[in-house]
Structure 1
Amino acid sequence: MTASRGAGAFRPVVLVPHLIALGLYALAAALALAPFAGLRPAPRALGLGVPLLGLAAHVIGVARLTSFLGVAPTLSMLALFLVALQAASEGLFRASAVGVFTGPLATGLLGLALLIGLAPEAPPASGRGAWSILHITVSVFGLAMLALAFIAAALYLLQFRELKAKRFGPVFRLFPPLERLDQLNHLSLVLGFPTVTLGVLLGFGVRYAGGASVDAAQVVWGMLTWVVLGWAVGVRVVRHWAGRRAAFASIASFAAVLLVYVALKLAAPGTQRFL
């Protein structure tokens, strides 16, 4: 029984697109990191085309899943959104340096999801229908937006350090200007906050309208993410923080959300639920 389920968890229609995406993400990460190893930067069309091809394969793989519950599907979806945001950052802000972070991160998340095991044949739990899938999708996208804000902040601080030290190496040449990174951070937070808010509201709707069980850890982490992201948006929009202060606020917010998740996960380990 266990063996048959394990085999079913890796049907070709699910495994093959994910493996193709994994390979293309790894290639995209290598292209993004190559200039920092002294190699020639890849053409912009190649640097954008490779992750987009991986994204297309990944979408096909995710669409084949019949259950979005558990750690593995969530990690897979998070990797997908990170690459989508990487492509959007390159298209809108010409911020190809985002791939220095998102490339390896998406590759690692997707590889970990495959190691844990995606379960396409697992039936959805009671009370978790289309609204539950929407809640999970929106919430993970909001988390990806918070991660993008963190990445933009980290790039900002690295670029600022290079300029202050008057070093004009690969970081200076390949990273976007400080103003553009600050704009990317601002936009990620401003769009991420309503997304997380919608995800929290949908979670309460699934709980009370659908009758699905929600653990205390899920409530704690969801509300913490909302409060922390709300604070990061507040200091930018209301208190008009920008530049280094805003970057440090974004990094602190992301670190707090990540550390609390790790603590809650260590308190109740397992892969059947994201929390």
Structure 2
Amino acid sequence: MMLPLLEMENILFYGSFSLYVLGMVLFFAFLIGKKEGAGLWATRAMWAAFACHSLALAARGLGAGRVPLSNQYEFATSFAWGIALLFLIFERRFHFKAMGAFVAPVVIIVIGYAAMQNKDVRPLMPALQSAWLVFHVATAVISYGAFGVAFGISAMYLIRGRMKEDDFIAKHVPNLEMLDLISYRAVAFGYLFLTLVMITGAIWAQKAWARYWAWDPKETWSFITWIIYSIYLHMRVVKGWRGKKAAWFALIGFLCVLFTYIGVNTLLPSIHSYAGAVSTIL
């Protein structure tokens, strides 16, 4: 039973990868080529990719006999899934497809990273055999997804002023004020879940290693990430920060997220990297 499900998961994974790429190409055709039909098909491709991706995660979970959130590959593919989920929610809420040209590449980068990881299913180590694993990693997936969307929207903000204004741009690309607001909402949503990541991670650490915090490199960089987004929200609410400053902060924050997840695991020894264990923010 396990092998057929994992084979199915592999097919679904690469099917979703291909559909995400198709969606990205169509979004580029929509924004750069100003082909409205391409935008409609781009959204359909992203929904199809997300559905295929969801089935891949389900097949992985059933095949492994556990929640698929326990190693580099599983978290990376879930990370990409989270970005796609939040993108589809924001696209449906605000009704502008041009965002896809900036967010879809982020999904491709993260799921591409997942494709390069070891996909072997291994038994969970004792420290990972906890119900807190699901809460901790699931909140990280949602948090990272929101920050990925904020990254794409902030990048869009920074080049919005350089776009030649015409009827197409006016109709399909929000003005700077709206882009700033959407980015802020994505960051605020991600920050809420990032705080939950920190709390659940501390509780899990106490259960697993009898301490809430140890300044492990992963913990340290997760705290740095939280501080960056805290500064962003503080400066916006108290000092009224808007525009380019806020956009740059959102970009830097997501780069810090990527380093916390990928850079720390690659460059720094951490108890969160052992034996292919979970690579998340604690």
Taking structure 2 as the reference length, what is the TM-score of the superposition?
0.82
SS in 2 for 1:127: helix
Q: How does 1:86-165 map to 2 (within 5 A)?
A: 86-119=87-120, 121-128=121-128, 129-162=130-163
Cα distance in 2 for residues equivalent to 1:225 and 1:258: 10
CA drift at 1:158: 0.7
Check 1:156–1:204 CA distance in 2 against 1; reply closer, same or farther (3 A cut).
same
Q: CA RMSD in A?
A: 2.8
Cα distance in 2 for residues equivalent to 1:99 and 1:55: 14
Cα distance in 2 for residues equivalent to 1:233 and 1:147: 17
Aligned to 1:209: 207
- Unpaired runs of 5+ residues, structure 2, are none
Q: Is the 8 A contact 1:159 1:178 kept in 2?
A: yes
1:191 equivalent to 2:189? Answer yes
Identity across aligned pairs (percent)? 21
1:272 equivalent to 2:276? Answer yes
Q: How does 1:7-86 map to 2 (within 5 A)?
A: 11-38=6-33, 40-42=35-37, 44-63=39-58, 64-65=60-61, 66=66, 67-86=68-87
Cα distance in 2 for residues equivalent to 1:9 and 1:113: 21
Cα distance in 1 for residues equivalent to 2:190 and 2:44: 25
Residue-pair matches, total: 264
Check 1:204–1:240 CA distance in 2 against 1; reply closer, same or farther (3 A cut).
same
- Unpaired runs of 5+ residues, structure 1, are 1-6
Cα distance in 1 for residues equivalent to 2:5 and 2:231: 41
CA drift at 1:257: 4.0
Q: Which residue type is aligned with residue 205 of structure 1? A: I
Cα distance in 2 for residues equivalent to 1:151 and 1:207: 33
SS in 2 for 1:123: coil
Q: Is the 8 A contact 1:72 1:116 kept in 2?
A: yes
Q: Is the 8 A contact 1:228 1:257 kept in 2?
A: no
Deviations 1:176-197 (A, max 9, x none): 2222211111101111111100
Q: Is the 8 A contact 1:10 1:117 kept in 2?
A: no
